[in-house]
Structure 1
């Protein structure tokens, strides 16, 4: 069965799992840290404990692991317990850590590291900032009872303290990431609303006058038709002329709306690369305006970006894609804008022949007085596509405004 886009998409930080596969990945990230429990598990396997201690250790460790996993997993899937239940769970595993490390030996001190992580993940900063040091101090006090571990007690205390505060930082990063995603969604929603308002305004400006004039002339022709057929025919001719002009205006407007733009293609490119799990390294210049870039030139570069990213996603098997936008000078003093899309994938197609997409792209660029260059990436691995379109006169005249000349192949 073909995977859906949701199933193929990576597990993003701060987002709940949308499929069983993503839930499994998040579970693995919790379970993998249980490798640090080799010390307590080794004590249980050695068989040097009394039966009562064996029972206490097995029951306590199972309860500790179960509550810890449930607490962190529920927090990851954004279906966290009520606040009182979280406090009870944290207090419970902290009590188990104190009991087992006090009764069963120093190897059980590692449980405090898990408690610090649970506190950092599930409690706010106002609580974690004192709870993590307090738990570390408790670990040290219990560890001082065991003479054989006093020398390297910091090997237990330091990971406990650092793990707690590291997870506090991770939680802050998750909150910031969620706020950023929400802000992007809001910006996209506002942009869509603004585009709808602009479309409505432009259509009103284009068609309002023409349709009003057609209506008036139609009524006038209807009144004139029985007595003045020549005058009515003239009004009908005017109606035809106005309607044809309105049709031309609408076609021009629709053509403008359909014209691809770099900023729009940039958003689509980010989504496509993210879905394909390809790391994107994007030049900030792509989000800036370039003086002298014509509508035809921007449209050609937008088509080039779309075609290049489509090829990277479908055919390159790349793990990284770099997108650059630079200004260059030709030997004939022409100023060009160069869009470079470079990946680290399988490289140029065998045989060196362009496919239909690249052939069509060459034609589009030629219509904008530009050109297309393709070949192996500069690092010797991967594919590089460079699209050039001319720019108008530079904004500042004189030699000081002109950058150092270099060949397009050096971009």
Structure 2
């Protein structure tokens, strides 16, 4: 785990790339990835191709076979590849699947049993593009059609029948997975939008509460000062002094509010850490909502920065496959402390000593009255950050 302070955007970006399943490709790279995923399934066309190049048919039959095979492959790729993103209307899908099934039957009847593998693609298409209710009867129907064509050609391969049946229903599961992934992405976008709207409303309420009274008071005293200025300049000066005091206090309140908005929260960082670790392929062991009752904001903020730094290093530099995070309260000689522990099974990075990230984090924790311990453990790398769990008590006060 190296010591470089970075945000978690690469992990989030990777998660977003993984969530692109089920959408039409936006770039040539995405189109190529989807095509590479589909093309290996065309291996079942090797038998028809071998039959055509073996010169076992007349020239006219061979030309017709090539035309039928190209049309079949084109319709199949169009349905499975393009329909994955921008779906056709249901009548168009039904017509194309009907043409696909008709081509499979005609080619098997005219060119022989070498073409019976085309029904695999018909079954896959039924599972990929039809609704579940329709797929549940079209896939067995395709299997029956393949059985009849096999009997006509003198082939009785039970394994192929089972393959056609299973691969069709497997594609229904894949389609449900794609649909669930798309809905999950939309739900995440909706939640993010709602959270942004809620934060915007909270900001508006806070600003209104902070500035509404102050600005109203400034306006009132300005009017009074204007009325008193000709006859009572001393009273007008007092009103102007009050205006200055109120405006200064309003400025302090706004600065404190903005500082609170910018302060990281430990619960939010735990949620972000889960997303980043999962997207990076790291098994995350994270606690539930931590108990932060009575914990000073400065202590919570320092631990949130420590968690962000630690998870960033795990994702980017450690090469770890597992990361465990723990937040506990401990009673020490210095009083009650809130302890954050982040341990991974990675290499610990290539740095020979603490870098800028850990150095800055140490300074931040020291300022909050805490400590930082980071180094190699028996299983990898471990970072432990501690901050006071209670606000310091002024011994000179009545408390």
Match of 2:186 among 182, 187, 193: 182
Query: Could you report, residue by residue, the CA deviation over 1:256-280 in whole angstroms, capped at 9, with x for unpaired residues?
Result: 1110123444565567668xx6224
Asked which structure has the greater RCO (Cα within 8 Å, sep 6+), the reply is 2
Distance, in Å, in 2 between the alignment partners of 1:108 and 1:347 is: 56
Distance, in Å, in 1 between the alignment partners of 2:272 and 2:308 is: 8
Give 3-state SS (helix, strand or coil) of 2:349's partner: coil
- 1:7-406 pair list within 5 angstroms: 10=17, 12-76=20-84, 78-147=85-154, 149-150=155-156, 153-266=157-270, 269=273, 278-283=280-285, 285=287, 288-292=289-293, 293-312=295-314, 314-316=316-318, 318=319, 320=321, 322=323, 324-327=325-328, 329=330, 334=336, 336-340=338-342, 342=344, 344=346, 347-351=348-352, 353-376=353-376, 379-380=379-380, 383-391=381-389
Distance, in Å, in 2 between the alignment partners of 1:13 and 1:33 is: 18
Give 3-state SS (helix, strand or coil) of 2:88's partner: coil
Distance, in Å, in 1 between the alignment partners of 2:382 and 2:44 is: 45
Distance, in Å, in 1 between the alignment partners of 2:337 and 2:109 is: 76
Aligned positions, number: 378
Label 1:267 to 1:289 Cα distance change in 2 as closer, same or farther (>3 A): closer
Label 1:99 to 1:355 Cα distance change in 2 as closer, same or farther (>3 A): same
Distance, in Å, in 1 between the alignment partners of 2:158 and 2:200 is: 62
Show the counterpart of 1:408.
none
Q: Does the 8 Å CA contact 1:270/1:280 hold for their aligned counterparts?
A: no
Q: Does the 8 Å CA contact 1:278/1:321 hold for their aligned counterparts?
A: no
Distance, in Å, in 1 between the alignment partners of 2:345 and 2:196 is: 32
Give 3-state SS (helix, strand or coil) of 1:226's partner: coil
Note the C-alpha offset of 1:129: 0.9
Distance, in Å, in 2 between the alignment partners of 1:230 and 1:357 is: 57
When structure 1 is superposed on structure 2, of 326-335 and 86-95 the one drifting more is 326-335
User: Structure 1-normalised TM-score?
Assistant: 0.82
Give 3-state SS (helix, strand or coil) of 2:17's partner: coil
Q: Does the 8 Å CA contact 2:274/2:286 hold for their aligned counterparts?
A: no
Give 3-state SS (helix, strand or coil) of 1:15's partner: coil
Please list every run of 5 or more consecutive structure 1 residues that lacks an aligned counterpart in the other structure.
394-411
Note the C-alpha offset of 1:7: 10
Label 1:329 to 1:230 Cα distance change in 2 as closer, same or farther (>3 A): closer
Note the C-alpha offset of 1:299: 1.1
Note the C-alpha offset of 1:17: 1.7
Note the C-alpha offset of 1:136: 1.0
Note the C-alpha offset of 1:127: 0.8
Q: Does the 8 Å CA contact 1:220/1:235 hold for their aligned counterparts?
A: yes
Note the C-alpha offset of 1:385: 3.7
Label 1:308 to 1:30 Cα distance change in 2 as closer, same or farther (>3 A): same
Distance, in Å, in 2 between the alignment partners of 1:384 and 1:284 is: 15
Note the C-alpha offset of 1:290: 1.9
Show the counterpart of 1:399.
none
Note the C-alpha offset of 1:244: 1.5
Label 1:328 to 1:265 Cα distance change in 2 as closer, same or farther (>3 A): closer
Note the C-alpha offset of 1:52: 4.3
Give 3-state SS (helix, strand or coil) of 1:374's partner: strand
Note the C-alpha offset of 1:115: 0.8
Label 1:162 to 1:336 Cα distance change in 2 as closer, same or farther (>3 A): same
Query: Could you report, residue by residue, the CA deviation over 1:94-115 in whole angstroms, capped at 9, with x for unpaired residues?
Result: 1111122233333322211111
User: Structure 2-normalised TM-score?
Assistant: 0.84
Note the C-alpha offset of 1:65: 0.7
Label 1:379 to 1:93 Cα distance change in 2 as closer, same or farther (>3 A): farther
Give 3-state SS (helix, strand or coil) of 1:145's partner: helix
Note the C-alpha offset of 1:117: 1.1
Distance, in Å, in 2 between the alignment partners of 1:254 and 1:230 is: 37
Note the C-alpha offset of 1:63: 1.2
